[in-house]
Chain A
């Protein structure tokens, strides 16, 4: 069965925090790192509007996913010092566990992991000269859980977490991530299951840097426009420097999905800067 659907979504923690008290707590902490950003602090009404807009975007993505009736959802995300530390940083990592778990505030998640598909990706990678790391003990974190809360709240199908190093130099190039996406597409098209993919992260944000609080909305809008125009292959020409300067290194996760869909135009995109830290972006491709 083929590759049947692809979506991409931001994983900013505040997407899943409740407007009001939870946002205020988050921002109190955030502004200690970014006091210059406090001037654009969103009102409660603005927080509620952001949440409503994000829920609408997720509802469209979820409907697209469900209409494709996938048997497994590959989740491409980055680790943020939960599973990996400077002892050992994989550029790409495929999860071979039987099951995966994680917690986000009061929300707990437990999914079966599709290790067989993971092994197929690893084997295809070795055959193609794209050698991937792998392991059996990983913990899910906000980079997977925020989008999964909205897209796959019940563990009706297994997932397959694949990690991309998006924050610790040297990073993989956008072209390399695109190539991984092409490889996964070939594996998916030959798999007995109906395979869907979710990429998470971005868009523009500068966590923990002197630029924290900035959001490059122009660059973000350009990325989404190119995806809507079906210019996926051209996105592989992006440089790491462009992604760094626009706070978009997590777009490397998206580039894996862009590789899987190639020049298929995105059917839907949504964008809302949160005025705090992150340009929330969403996209869906119908295959």
Chain B
């Protein structure tokens, strides 16, 4: 079931208003709302989307982990779905 929650977290970063701000301000608290394994939490904290796919994250959702990276704050990619 945790694979669902791993993808759910990424989906919320894409689609849920406020999810990005919440995760940026307190990632531990944000992740506590999802039923994630220790391995999944560790992978998410690397901020490297390529770490997620081997754990069952869908490839099209994995890149939304980069919403947490300040380097891509205003990236145009986020202005389309």
**Chain A: residues with CB nearer than 8 A to chain B?**
13, 17, 22, 25-26, 28-29, 32-33, 80-82, 85-86, 102-106, 139, 141-142, 145, 167-168, 207-210, 212
* Chain B residues near A102 (CB-CB < 8 A): 81
* Chain A residues near B71 (CB-CB < 8 A): 28
Q: What is the bound-complex CA distance between A104 and B72, given in angstroms? A: 18
Q: What is the bound-complex CA distance between A207 and B60, given in angstroms? A: 6
Known pairs A85-B11, A86-B7; A209 contacts B61 (CB<8 A): no
B62, B77, B81: the one contacting A25 at CB < 8 Å is: B77
In this complex, how many residues of chain B approach chain A with their Cβ under 8 Å: the count is 24
- Name the prevailing secondary structure of the B interface residues: helix
Report whether A208 and B53 are in contact in the complex, using a CB–CB cutoff of 8 Å. Answer: yes
Report whether B72 and A28 are in contact in the complex, using a CB–CB cutoff of 8 Å. Answer: yes
Report whether B77 and A13 are in contact in the complex, using a CB–CB cutoff of 8 Å. Answer: yes
Q: What is the bound-complex CA distance between A145 and B79, given in angstroms? A: 13
Report whether A142 and B72 are in contact in the complex, using a CB–CB cutoff of 8 Å. Answer: no
Q: What is the bound-complex CA distance between A256 and B73, given in angstroms? A: 38
Q: What is the bound-complex CA distance between A106 and B79, given in angstroms? A: 8
Report whether A80 and B81 are in contact in the complex, using a CB–CB cutoff of 8 Å. Answer: yes
Tell me whether B45 is interfacial, beta carbon within 8 Å: no
**Chain B: residues with CB nearer than 8 A to chain A?**
4, 7-8, 11, 14-15, 49-50, 53, 58-63, 66, 71-72, 75-77, 79-81
Report whether B72 and A29 are in contact in the complex, using a CB–CB cutoff of 8 Å. Answer: yes
With contacts defined as CB atoms under 8 Å apart, how many contacts are there between chain A and chain B in the complex? 75
B8, B15, B80: the one contacting A104 at CB < 8 Å is: B80
Report whether B72 and A208 are in contact in the complex, using a CB–CB cutoff of 8 Å. Answer: no
Known pairs A29-B72, A81-B14, A82-B15; A105 contacts B61 (CB<8 A): no
A32, A105, A207, A212: the one contacting B80 at CB < 8 Å is: A105
B4, B15, B62, B76: the one contacting A208 at CB < 8 Å is: B62
Known pairs A86-B4, A142-B81; A209 contacts B59 (CB<8 A): yes
- From residue B46, how far is it (CB to closest CB) to chain A in Å? 12
Known pairs A33-B49, A167-B60; A81 contacts B11 (CB<8 A): yes
A22, A139, A145, A167: the one contacting B58 at CB < 8 Å is: A167
Q: What is the bound-complex CA distance between A155 and B77, given in angstroms? A: 25
Q: What is the bound-complex CA distance between A208 and B60, given in angstroms? A: 5
Report whether A25 and B75 are in contact in the complex, using a CB–CB cutoff of 8 Å. Answer: yes
